[in-house]
Amino acid sequence: MKGKVYLVGAGPGDYKLITLKGMECIRGADVIVYDRLANPEYLKEAKNGCELIDAGKASSDHTLSQDKINAVIADKAKEGKVVVRLKGGDPYVFGRGGEEGEYLLECDIPFEVVPGITSAIAGPCYAGIPITHRDYASSFHVITGHLKDDEKDDINWSALAGLKGTLVFLMGVANLQKISQNLIREGKNPATPAALISWATRYNQSVVTGNLETIYELALQNNVKPPTLIVIGDVVSLRDKLNFFEEKPLFGKNVVVTRAREQNSQLTAMIHDLGGHAIELPAIKIEEIENNEVLSQCIDHLKSYTYLVFTSQNTVGIFFKKLEEKGLDTRSLGHMKIAAVGPSTVSSLKSKGINPDIIPQRAVGEAVYESLKDILTSTDHILLPKSAIAREYLTEELRKICEVTAVSLYHTVTEPIDKELLLNLLEQNEAHYITFTSSSTVTNLIKAIGTENINRLKSAKLISIGPVTSETIRKYGLEVYKEPDKYTIDEMAKCIIKDIKR
Ligand code: SAH
């Protein structure tokens, strides 16, 4: 049985600039052969067991030659596998997708092409440069800057120099001097605005602007390296006005996220949408307690409880999984009042169709106690699912009023983190913010980098979610830079934005 090959355009780099169809292909692939310019984050979407092959392709040091790439994708498909050939931008824009298609046709292997957003258009866009504009350019031209060494390259410079439209050169940094000189020699105005856009659409996008005459010198001064787009034309002058991407509040900022991978998506997505770079260093991992007999018994006796208090999003997930395993659903909770601590716990419950009766003002034990103490009576019985390392405070206080059955659902364990990555960032003052969402993220991060390195954390601004976490940070002799008034992820992000605006 033959497999199939999908030549998929991964878009220009911004994680969200891939097509739905492209993402569907990635999720369904048995093998992914990927390029350097495809955002590596997409590989996390591959299914378990998917084989990942790096095809490299930096212009001078090819990791795999084109012949080898052709052979690999064809061989894997012949084994009956679904192969995704993942390429930066669009597969047919200087991506050699055409050659791969022809080869597959020769081998009689079925294939499809999924177009992608090309960097040639998205790159200028994210640099604030519209590729056409009624007042400035009525056409655009995308040209390879990968020139042959001899003087007789395939490019008709005099024709190009005569065009009024926007010129976009890909793979052209190494030949920038030649490109600008040829155009000027053939009569293009040396004062034509020009831009160099490196790592376009990514958190590390950088842009240099000048004109046709100055751009080569500017490239040298700014040490411009591939991948870079060269844009030449009057539209470049609109950058000052239309630069929406670099204007985003977190653009150029690295924010370290220490939360468990299972729950950090909200924070990383928020950082990304604000233009920042979230560096995931999950210091903790949530480990569900297996074969939890205590939980099982609690669920068998749901009728005996009058209150159910969810203290975290994790408790909601695990509790409902168990409920489902037993063939039960929300109807079995109908007789109880339900409390939810923290906004993500509230939204988890809402997604289960439950509108919590009690939502404490703040997500700390003291506030939960306050919200319950006047409504509870001695005949009540509270079921309190929690983390194994939760403070005893709440259980102890509530027990002074009525019966409380506290049941541990999960452990928070240390996750090995990339210590070198973090220490390097700190050394270069490039970990701009580190976010801590619980005491255990603090303790475990410090355990991971070693107490001898605690002082290095002083080069970053430490953002704590609330007072309990702040206390732990201070216990290590570190300063809490900001703590939001409301203890939520949203508010943490707002703290960072406010700080930058200041
Ligand atoms: N198929 C790709 C282009 C591949 S050729 C596309 O459609 O975008 C590789 C060249 O594309 C690089 O040398 C660089 O000039 C350009 N390029 C691709 N992605 C880029 C990015 N994010 N930033 C700047 N240039 C990029």
Phi first, then psi: what are they for 195, rounded to 5°? -135, 145
Q: Is 270 a catalytic residue?
A: no
Residue minimizing CA distance to atom 18 of ligand 1: 119
Q: What is the CATH number of domain 254-283+415-501?
A: 3.40.50.10090
Per-residue pLDDT of the chain (502 residues; tens, 9 = 90+): 679 999 999 999 999 999 999 999 999 999 999 999 999 999 999 999 999 999 975 444 556 888 999 999 999 999 999 999 999 999 999 999 999 999 999 999 999 999 999 999 999 999 999 999 999 999 999 999 988 766 667 889 999 999 999 999 999 999 999 999 999 999 999 999 999 999 999 999 999 999 999 999 999 999 999 999 999 999 999 999 999 999 999 999 999 998 877 677 778 888 999 999 999 888 778 899 999 999 999 999 999 999 999 998 899 999 999 999 999 999 999 999 999 998 889 989 999 999 999 999 887 888 899 999 999 999 999 999 999 988 889 999 999 999 999 999 999 887 788 889 999 999 999 999 999 988 889 998 998 899 999 999 999 999 999 998 999 999 999 999 999 988 788 888 889 989 987 7
Residue 231 beta carbon below 6 angstroms from any ligand 1 atom:
no
Q: Tell whether ligand 1 has an atom less than 6 A from the beta carbon of residue 210.
A: no
Residues 326 and 320: their CA atoms lie apart, in Å, by: 10
What is the number of the ligand 1 atom nearest to the C-alpha of 146? 13
User: Angle, nearest 10°, between helix axes 489-501 and 265-273?
Assistant: 30
- Out of 3.40.50.261, 3.40.1010.10, 3.30.70.1140, 1.10.357.10, which CATH number does the structure's domain 4-116 have? 3.40.1010.10
Kindly give the distance from the C-alpha atom of residue 171 to the centroid of ligand 1, in angstroms, as a whole number.
7
Please tell me the distance between residue 88's alpha carbon and the centre of ligand 1 in angstroms: 7
Alpha-carbon distance 185 to 179, whole Å?
10
Residue among 35, 87, 188, 336 flagged as catalytic = 35
Pocket test for ligand 1, best of 62, 93, 119, 169 (most atoms within 8 A of CB): 119
**CB of 94 shorter than 6 A to ligand 1:** yes
Q: How far is CA 379 from CA 171, 333, 410, in A?
A: 75, 18, 29
**Ligand 1 neighbour 115 (Cβ under 6 A):** no
List 4, 14, 87, 171, catalytic entry? 171
**Do the domains spanning 4-116 and 254-283+415-501 agree at the CATH topology level?**
no
Tokens standing for residue 322: 């168990």
Residues with Cβ < 8 Å from 463, sequence gap 6 or more? 433, 434, 435, 436, 480, 481, 482, 483, 492, 495, 496
Whether 67 is a known active-site residue: answer: no
Whether residue 23 lies in the annotated active site: no
For 287-412, the fitting CATH number among 3.40.50.10090, 3.30.70.520, 3.40.50.150, 3.30.1360.120 is 3.40.50.10090
In the chain, where the domains are located: 4-116, 121-245, 254-283+415-501, 287-412
Interaxial angle between packed helices 343-351 and 489-501, expressed in degrees from 0 to 180 and rounded to the nearest 10: 130
How far is Cα 116 from Cα 124, in angstroms, rounded to an integer?
16
Phi/psi-derived region of residue 477, left when phi > 0, alpha when psi is between -120 and 50, beta in every other case = left
Q: Which pTM does this prediction carry?
A: 0.81
The CATH class of 121-245 is alpha beta
Tell me if 88 CB under 6 Å of ligand 1.
Answer: yes
Q: Which of 61, 96, 229 to mutate to test the pocket of ligand 1 (most atoms within 8 A of CB)?
A: 229
The H-or-E segment that residue 70 falls in is: helix 66-78
How far is the centre of ligand 1, averaged over its atoms, from the C-alpha of 270 (Å)?
A: 26
